[in-house]
Amino acid sequence: MSMSRRAFLAAVPAVTLAGCAGPPPLRVAVVWSGEELRRFLRVVDAYVAERRRPVSVYSAGDNISALLRGPAADVVPDVAVIPRLGLLFDPLVRPRIRPLTGGHAQPAFWRRLVTAPESGETLGAWFKIANKSLVWHRAGERHALAGLTAWQPRPGTLAIGAADGWVLSDWFENVLLAYAPEVYDGLFPPAEQGNQAWWGVAKVTEALTLLATIWREAFTYDQGRRALTLQFHDSILDVFSYRTADVVAAPDFALPVIERYGGKDVAGHFPFPAYPGGSPPLVVGGDVAVAMRGGGQDAVDFVDWLTRPRAGGERDVLTAWVDEGGFLTPYRQPAHPLLRGPAEALHTAGNRHYDLSDRLIGRLEGGDGRGLWRVLTELFTDVTAGTAAPAAAAAAAREKIVAAAGEGPA
């Protein structure tokens, strides 16, 4: 999918934060909207005030991949903050990234993820990270930490925003990592950018069957149809505002939504269940800031400023964002007690695995209505709003994944 300059300018609004007269604004593309975008603009405003350098922030949403791959050079931004690690290694995007030199050191686990295997160059710096292996519930309610095979939420107790493909993908990644960590590792070995042959192993079908069984048991036909209309935020409200469900699997950044609509001190969480004999899965995600070649040294300097570690006692708009919840970084512990444990795991846990779907490129690349997200949406539909047996639906889903993985680039 390519994007013309005219289409980009029509689809992507920009906010220019002015500095002194002089150079043209540094163009920064992000995926956020709403409150996340407003908070980011406050951070950029602090940069403008400090450096006296104008910045234009573009909210590209899902179009950011097309923007970075597009044939029109005048559309490619100077800096991009991207949510999918795979874009760094996309054959069309990788040559456009200016590797980072100097600046601050990143923790080893996170640095390795943004390092080009063939050259050892650092391609980006982590701005925001996320723990995607939490199950949230109302405070004061007890929920048994059953193993994955015994964790069968009764109909009406589980909320899922199935209209958002990434929500279903997070479910699959947690189940696959819990059930078959060797397959998860095989798909993306530490020093490589992917081995698609692992999609063909039997344990992928078995993990999909386990996932489909959980979904089938948790939803009636009508509940499944309703879940397919719900987005991520809606599923949070089902538990903490409407109280029509008891638990929701959601990343740490669910907390601001919980507290905005449900109130303070209303939530608790537990780790996503482990498979018997194994460890609880820990799927991590995040947003990477990259300097594009057209941005020159100014782009590198902006990325370094944006992602630099803040000192323990330092207070600015970014540390305030961390302290208020919904924003984790590799360098700072959050003030909110509910987030300290999930944040510590991101820094120290030995079983961290980066979000699988966010590493995919080609025909399996995530996005609503395409790739792995589409396959999982069809699986959810088949076993909740349809009549397919979990094993049959899982086998069909695995065939779709294998077929897409074997087709090569989109």
Q: Each residue of 221-239: pLDDT tens digit?
A: 999 999 999 999 999 999 9
CATH number (domain holding residue 40) = 3.40.190.10
pLDDT at 3 over 50: no
pLDDT at 203 over 50: yes
Specify whether 266 is located in the same domain as 328.
Answer: no
Specify whether 386 is located in the same domain as 257.
Answer: yes
Q: What pLDDT, on a 0 to 100 scale, did the predictor assign at position 8?
A: 43
* Residue 303 lies in domain: 5-130+285-344
Q: Is residue 355 part of a domain?
A: no
Whole-angstrom distance, CA of residue 377 vs CA of residue 197: 23
Q: Is residue 352 part of a domain?
A: no
Domain total of the chain: 2
Length of the chain: 410
Q: Is residue 290 part of a domain?
A: yes
296-329 per-position pLDDT tens digit: 999 999 999 999 998 778 889 999 999 888 899 9
Specify whether 143 is located in the same domain as 31.
Answer: no
Q: Which two tokens stand for residue 111?
A: 């640095």
Specify whether 75 is located in the same domain as 207.
Answer: no
Q: What pLDDT, on a 0 to 100 scale, did the predictor assign at position 21?
A: 59
Specify whether 240 is located in the same domain as 380.
Answer: yes
Specify whether 153 is located in the same domain as 117.
Answer: no
Quick check: helix, strand or coil at residue 276? Answer: coil
Specify whether 82 is located in the same domain as 183.
Answer: no
pLDDT at 19 over 60: no
Q: Is residue 354 part of a domain?
A: no
Q: Is residue 297 part of a domain?
A: yes
Specify whether 376 is located in the same domain as 321.
Answer: no
Name residue 305's amino acid.
Answer: W
Q: Is residue 29 part of a domain?
A: yes
> pLDDT class for 361, splitting at 50, 70, 90?
confident
Specify whether 45 is located in the same domain as 191.
Answer: no
Q: Is residue 33 part of a domain?
A: yes
Q: What pLDDT, on a 0 to 100 scale, did the predictor assign at position 13?
A: 56
The whole-number average pLDDT for the span 62-81 is 86
Q: Higher-confidence residue: 407 or 153?
A: 153
Specify whether 150 is located in the same domain as 234.
Answer: yes
Q: Is residue 372 part of a domain?
A: yes
Q: Higher-confidence residue: 112 or 366?
A: 112
| pTM of full prediction above 0.85 | yes
| Residues contacting 218, CB < 8 A, separation 6+ | 152, 153, 154, 155, 157, 158, 160
User: What angle is formed at CA 142 by the lines to CA 273 and CA 150, rounded to 5 degrees?
Assistant: 35
Specify whether 11 is located in the same domain as 116.
Answer: yes
